[in-house]
Amino acid sequence: MSEASSLQDFFDGKIAAEEKIEPKDWMPEAYRKNLIRQMSQHAHSEVIGMQPEGNWLSRAPTLERKSVLLAKIQDEAGHGLYLYSATETLGASREELIDALHEGRAKYASIFNYPSLTWADIGAIGWLVDGAAIVNQISLQRTSYGPYARAMVRICKEESFHQRQGYQIMVALCAGDDAQKAMAQDALDRWWWPSLMMFGPHDGESAHSAQSMVWKIKRAGNDELRQKFVDQTVPQADIIGLRIPDADLKWNETRGHYDFGAIDWEEFSRVISGNGPCNRQRLATHRQAHDNGAWVRAAVQAYTARQGEQADE
Site string for ligand FAQ, 9-48 (x = CB under 6 A): ----------------------------xx--xx--xx--
- 3-class state of residue 145 by DSSP: strand
Q: Tell me the torsion sign for CA atoms 175, 176, 177, 182.
A: negative
Work out the angle at residue 81's Cα, subtended by the Cα atoms of residues 307 and 100, and round it to the nearest 5 degrees.
100
Closer CB to ligand FAQ, 185 or 212, in the complex? 212
* Secondary structure class of 82 (helix, strand, coil): helix
65 binds ligand FAQ (CB under 6 A): no
Q: Is the separation of the CB atoms in 170 and 127 below 8 Å?
A: yes
Backbone angles phi, psi at 21, to 5 degrees: -85, 130
Shortest separation between residue 295's beta carbon and ligand FAQ, angstroms: 26
Shortest distance, position 250 Cβ to ligand FAQ, whole Å: 25
Q: Is 49 in the site for ligand FAQ (CB under 6 A)?
A: yes
Q: Is the separation of the CB atoms in 164 and 236 below 8 Å? A: no
Site for ligand FAQ in 185-224 (CB under 6 A): 197-201, 206-209, 212, 218, 222
219-237: b (≥16 Cβ within 10 Å) or e: bbbbbebbbbbbeebbebb
Q: Least Å distance between CB 31 and ligand FAQ?
A: 13
Residues 6+ apart with CB under 8 A from 177: none
Compute the distance between CA of residue 163 and CA of residue 81 in angstroms, rounded to an integer: 20
Least CB distance to ligand FAQ at residue 213 (A): 9
State the Cα angle at 90 between 88 and 96, rounded to 5°.
50
Q: What is the DSSP string of 227-277?
A: HHHHHHHHHHHHHTT---S-TT-EEETTTTEEE-----HHHHHHIIIIIST
User: What's at 309, amino acid-wise?
Assistant: E
Q: Which member of 35, 68, 76, 226 binds ligand FAQ (CB under 6 A)?
A: 76
- CB-closest chain residue to ligand FAQ: 49
Q: Is the Cβ of residue 181 or residue 195 nearer to ligand FAQ in the bound state? A: 195
Our finding on whether 103 is near ligand FAQ (CB under 6 A) is no
Interface of this chain with ligand FAQ, residues 236 to 295, rule: CB under 6 A: 272
Nearest approach in angstroms of CB 140 to ligand FAQ is: 6
CB of 112 to ligand FAQ, least distance (A): 7
When the beta carbons of 14 and 44 are compared against ligand FAQ, the nearer one is 44
| Residue 312: burial class (beta carbons within 10 Å; 0-12, 13-18, 19+) | exposed
Instruction: Report the residue from 40, 87, 116, 136 that binds ligand FAQ according to the rule CB under 6 A.
Output: 136
Nearer to ligand FAQ, 222 or 227 (CB): 222
Least distance in angstroms from the C-beta of 313 to ligand FAQ: 44
**Footprint of ligand FAQ on this chain (CB under 6 A)?**
37-38, 41-42, 45-46, 49, 76, 107, 109-110, 125, 129-130, 133, 136, 197-201, 206-209, 212, 218, 222, 272
